[in-house]
Amino acid sequence: MTAIPATKKKTTLGSWINQENVAGYMFSMPFIVGFLMFMVIPMGLSLFYSFCKYDIQNPPVWIGLENYIKIFTKDPTFIKTLKVTCYYALIGTPLKVVFALIVALILNHETKAVPLYRATYYLPSIIGGSVAVAILWRRMFESTGTINALLGKIFPFLQSYNWFSEGPAIWVLIILTVWQFGSSMLIFLSALKQIPRELYEASHVDGANTNQQFWRVTLPLLTPTIFFNLVQQTINSFLAFTQCKLITNGDPRKSTLFYTVYQYQKAFPAVGKSQMGYASALAWIMLVIISVVTALLFWSKSKWVYDD
């Protein structure tokens, strides 16, 4: 037997890895693995569970559309939490965006203290979603808390106001989300810097005052940013969890029960069996709702967002 002359160079690990496509796959591997493990597989599983009766401890049993039918026909809490979540999202989000815009406009000046202010105002957003803030918030609004102590100095009848009663309780959560306006504010600030100086100069020459400049120049040019913030924050509001779980836990009478917390209570009840299948079905319904709301926002885009 004669040896076949080596026509091809032997592939070493080094040369194999140096190939462009292999390197590409290697670099994107962390994302691909993470995406599969923590997104695609769990989502697939939850879609499967949503058609099952599944209590975590025992194997899932296929029941078809039963969970979905029960949610839409026999679950008043579903409707209630949906209302609460929409109220929170549709009132909290615009308030937050407007508040962020106002603060951004105030901070859009070149003075020495501005960087300090920006950092200070951004701080609540960094610590915002945390457990510590939620607990602090609860303490502040307790009937013997800081807020009532301060309010009581001005309005004595508010001294022992119960912020956690039905009605005001949801506003405690809305005020918290509005207070966390920092990230939207930073986006507004950078957008404000992008507006060409010439436009202001030109409008000034044409005799526009500051007020007119804001409505005719600043605001139209900010609409893409407002749109972005609105979409981002609306989705965040629909997915809000920590605030509700830790501050009110849905009390009183589910008047502050967010959809996500309801879902969690179904999946991990304090007593009794888990209804993971039911909770998964709730999650998929939420996905559809968020998609629809986002689609509506995008549909409205052509009506009010200035696009050049």
Partner 1 sequence: MKKILALVLSLMMLCMAMPAMADGLAVGTYDPATAGTVEFSFGWWGNQVRDEVTKNAADYFTENYPNITFNLNAQSWGNYWALMSTYAANNDLPDVMQQDYAYIEQWVEAGDLLDLTPYVESGALDLSTMPESVIATGKVGDGLYAVCCAVNAPAMLYNKTLTDSLGIEVPMNITWDQFVEISKKIYEETGVGAIYGDGNSENPLTYYARSLGYTALWDENGLIPTAEEMAGYYQRLIDGVAEGWLYDTDKLAGVNTNDLAQYPMVYGASNEVRAWSAMCFSNQVAAYTAAANADGIELGFSTWPSTDPVKSNYMKPGQFFAVTTDAENPDLAVAFLNYLLNDVQGNILLRAERGVPPCNGTAAAIADEVGKIDATYPASVEYLAFVGENCSPIFPPLPSYAGTAQTEVIQMLAEECLLKGTSMTAEEAGQMAVEMIADIASSF
| Residue ranges in contact with partner 1 by CB under 8 A | 55-58, 77, 142-144, 160, 162-166, 169, 248, 251-254, 265, 267-275
- Closest contact distance (angstroms) between CB of 237 and partner 1 is 22
Q: In one letter, which amino acid is 4? A: I
- Closest contact distance (angstroms) between CB of 162 and partner 1 is 5
142 or 195: whose CB is closer to partner 1? 142
- Closest contact distance (angstroms) between CB of 127 and partner 1 is 22
Q: Are 184 and 100 in contact (CB under 8 A)?
A: yes
4 or 271: whose CB is closer to partner 1? 271
- Closest contact distance (angstroms) between CB of 178 and partner 1 is 21
- How far from 147 is each of 101, 128, 162, CA to CA, in Å? 26, 18, 11
- Closest contact distance (angstroms) between CB of 57 and partner 1 is 4
- Closest contact distance (angstroms) between CB of 281 and partner 1 is 15
18 or 130: whose CB is closer to partner 1? 130
130 or 160: whose CB is closer to partner 1? 160
232 or 274: whose CB is closer to partner 1? 274
81 or 93: whose CB is closer to partner 1? 81
169 or 282: whose CB is closer to partner 1? 169
Q: Omega into 252 within 30° of 0, i.e. cis?
A: yes
- Closest contact distance (angstroms) between CB of 276 and partner 1 is 9
